[in-house]
Structure 1
Amino acid sequence: MTHSTKQRLIDAGLRMLLEHGYNDLGIQALLSDTDTPKGSFYHHFKDKEDFALQVVDAYMAQVHAGLDACLKDKERPPLARVRRFFELTQQAYREQGYMGCLLGGLGQELSGVSEAFRRKIEGCFAAIARRMAVCLEEARQKGEIRTDCDVRQLADLLVDCWEGAALRSRLRRNPASLNAMIDFYIRSVAAG
């Protein structure tokens, strides 16, 4: 199946934003990489910011699909579902050469200079945490985690810790930080 011009640009943009970040992403390099005329880019996107924000939306669609596949898998206990999501995410990072999380990279690069990116990325992290909190609540109800836990706080902490570990993984180009983080988190929240 042939991808539309817009989808080809978004797919290449995701890879290039992970590799180079926003400030070092040149529109001309993107156009050359996708063999796309300049006019086609501006037909689909108002400007570079609009393009990058749409790439974030496409990235989040992938994240939500992964969350659905893992967190709704009733064949696994809730904490195992949470772990599975992060294991699959780690696998994707490995396949991409440990480039890490697009949200974390763009958030670090742009949150201090762009209110649009700050709001967008914070909203994305909040959406992930909300989805995690639902699964953690199920874990609490099933006795997998302590009953006195604030699952929303645990979910926020999980996302925060993962993002820090993703950065360390990118710096080191290996999964050690990701493995240690998820192992520590699951042990820390587990009941008993």
Structure 2
Amino acid sequence: MQKTTKERLLETGLTLLLRHGYNDLGVHSILEATGVPKGSFYHHFRSKEDFALQVIDSYMAEVHGGLDASLGDRTLPPLDRVRRFFELTREKYRHEGYLGCMLGGLGQELAGVNETFQSKIETCFSQMADRIAACFEEAREDGSLSPQADPLTLAELVLNCWEGAALRSRLRRERSPLDSMLDFYFSSVAATTA
């Protein structure tokens, strides 16, 4: 099925925002990459900011799809389901050339200067943390985590660690920071219940 003009713009926007960031990406570059006329762009988006915010929504739809696939896989124990989400994300990063997390990149670039993006990106991370925390709660209930463990704190910590590893992976253009982070985090979490 052929993609709509808006879908093509959003898909291209995701790639370009990952590569260039927000400030270095002009509308002209988006139009050039998609072959879409300027009028069509402004038919779908009020501004470059509106476009980037909708790209974030599109990105989050992918993230939630990954969370659904991983956290919803009841054939795996809860901790393995959380780890699986990050392993699938690592594979996505590999296909993109280890450019990292779009939320992390935009957050670093814009959070200090644009409250709209700061709020949007923090909301996205909070949604992810809530979903991961629910899986950690299952792990606490089945004894895989200590009864004293705080699932939301653990979820926020794994996201924070992941974002740091994603930045290092982007700098190096390879996966070892992601692998090391996952191994360290999940062996540390498992050790607290032993």
Shorter-chain-normalised TM-score: which range?
Answer: over 0.9
- Matched position secondary structure for 2:50: helix
> Which residue of 1 is the match for residue 93 of structure 2?
93
Within 2, Cα distance between the matches of 1:33 and 1:14? 12
Q: Mean Cα displacement is larger for which, 139-148 or 10-19?
A: 139-148
> Which residue of 2 is the match for residue 174 of structure 1?
174
Q: Pairwise mapping of residues 7-46 of structure 1 onto structure 2 (< 5 A)?
A: 7-46=7-46
Deviations 1:71-124 (A, max 9, x none): 010000001101110000000000000000000000000001100000000000
Q: Pairwise mapping of residues 114-129 of structure 1 onto structure 2 (< 5 A)?
A: 114-129=114-129
Runs (5+) with no aligned partner, structure 1: none
Counterpart residue identity of residue 32, structure 1: E
- Matched position secondary structure for 2:82: helix
What is the CA distance between 1:29 and its match in structure 2?
1.0
Deviations 1:1-58 (A, max 9, x none): 1111011000000000000000011111110110000000000000000000000000
What is the CA distance between 1:188 and its match in structure 2?
1.0
What is the CA distance between 1:183 and its match in structure 2?
0.9
> Which residue of 2 is the match for residue 48 of structure 1?
48
Query: Number of residues paired by the alignment?
Result: 192
Within 2, Cα distance between the matches of 1:55 and 1:180? 30
What is the CA distance between 1:174 and its match in structure 2?
0.8
Counterpart residue identity of residue 122, structure 1: E
> Which residue of 2 is the match for residue 68 of structure 1?
68
Within 2, Cα distance between the matches of 1:82 and 1:63? 13
Q: Pairwise mapping of residues 119-158 of structure 1 onto structure 2 (< 5 A)?
A: 119-158=119-158
Within 2, Cα distance between the matches of 1:157 and 1:32? 40
Runs (5+) with no aligned partner, structure 2: none
Within 1, Cα distance between the matches of 2:70 and 2:140? 17
Runs of 4+ in 1 over 2 A off after TM superposition: none
Report the TM-score when normalising by structure 2.
0.98
Counterpart residue identity of residue 178, structure 1: L
Percent identical across equivalent pairs? Answer: 60
Within 1, Cα distance between the matches of 2:67 and 2:168? 23
Two-structure CA RMSD over aligned residues (Å): 0.6
What is the CA distance between 1:66 and its match in structure 2?
0.3
Structure 1 contact 71–81 (Cα < 8 Å) conserved: yes
Structure 1 contact 146–189 (Cα < 8 Å) conserved: no
Counterpart residue identity of residue 127, structure 2: A
